[in-house]
Structure 1
């Protein structure tokens, strides 16, 4: 899979629509969580996404230090449900970590992880910092790399 990195203004309307559809499909519908996904942070983010057969199936957004957390950060990590068995989650994380290094020259990264994904992020050298907390009614943990 080839990943693309774009600023908000570089996204085509079709790409933006596909990204928002994927995020809504997973974070709102699949996880049965009513929350405001469109949060006006997308304009500050770099968007990392991968296509499969002309469809965006993997996505994250990354932030420079100070735009979300004190450290650089990765958020909205998502892979389409029927594509998760192919390891695209690991690929998009590697692409996002590399993009933070290339675009922001940063190695320190913070994420707000859903608790059940702790082992997944540990496989990318993230470590839990502090206690569990609720975000939009879902248990989360802060993790730093």
Structure 2
């Protein structure tokens, strides 16, 4: 089922104010998205991760198509997809969830959209632990959501990353 909601105005001191509250968030598995949304999702990710970050690799993987993976897309008033992330993991036995492929188109960065998508993704993870592979320079940014480093730095392509985890909150 596709869930369409406006991004809530829940800014924190760590967010840059969003100057346009008319953004809509779509939460859906890939098979439920329309072809134009799938195209926009992949185009944004390829533009950011492959072209902008100069990491030539196959951006599309089997996690995307898994029916349990939920893609969050932030849509601007003109219909353009301006940010995205995906949430996946195991529902069995309170398994670990993952948030990844977090990106925002350059023209929409600095407005708190990714932070709002992260918070929405954490809601989807419910009370389960969440792991991410964060670009190293974003470690402090992810800490505001309760993530902490849980291992050594590593390279993903040529970009320094680090594993982070958010355990159950008390």
Instruction: Provide TM-score, normalisation by structure 2.
Output: 0.77
Give the equivalent residue in structure 2 for 1:9: 31
The structure whose Rg is larger is 2
- Contact 1:28/1:34 (CA < 8 Å) preserved in 2? yes
Unaligned runs of 5+ in 1: none
User: Residue 110 of structure 1: SS of its match in structure 2?
Assistant: strand
1:134 matched to 2:155? The reply is: yes
Give the equivalent residue in structure 1 for 2:72: 48
Give the equivalent residue in structure 2 for 1:89: 114
Q: How well do the aligned residues superpose, as a CA RMSD in angstroms?
A: 1.6
Instruction: Provide TM-score, normalisation by structure 1.
Output: 0.90
Runs of 4+ in 1 over 4 A off after TM superposition: none
- Contact 1:3/1:95 (CA < 8 Å) preserved in 2? no
- Residue 34 of structure 1 and its aligned partner are, at CA, apart by 0.9
User: Residue 141 of structure 1: SS of its match in structure 2?
Assistant: strand
- Residue 64 of structure 1 and its aligned partner are, at CA, apart by 2.1
1:25 matched to 2:25? The reply is: no
The count of corresponding residues between Structure 1 and Structure 2 is 139
Unaligned runs of 5+ in 2: 1-22
- Contact 1:64/1:73 (CA < 8 Å) preserved in 2? yes
- Specify which structure has the higher proportion of helix: 1
Deviation track 1:70-116 (CA, whole Å, cap 9, x = no partner) reads: 61000100111110121111111111111222xxxx33100011111
Equivalent-residue separation in structure 2 for 1:29 and 1:109 (angstroms) = 28
- Contact 1:58/1:79 (CA < 8 Å) preserved in 2? yes
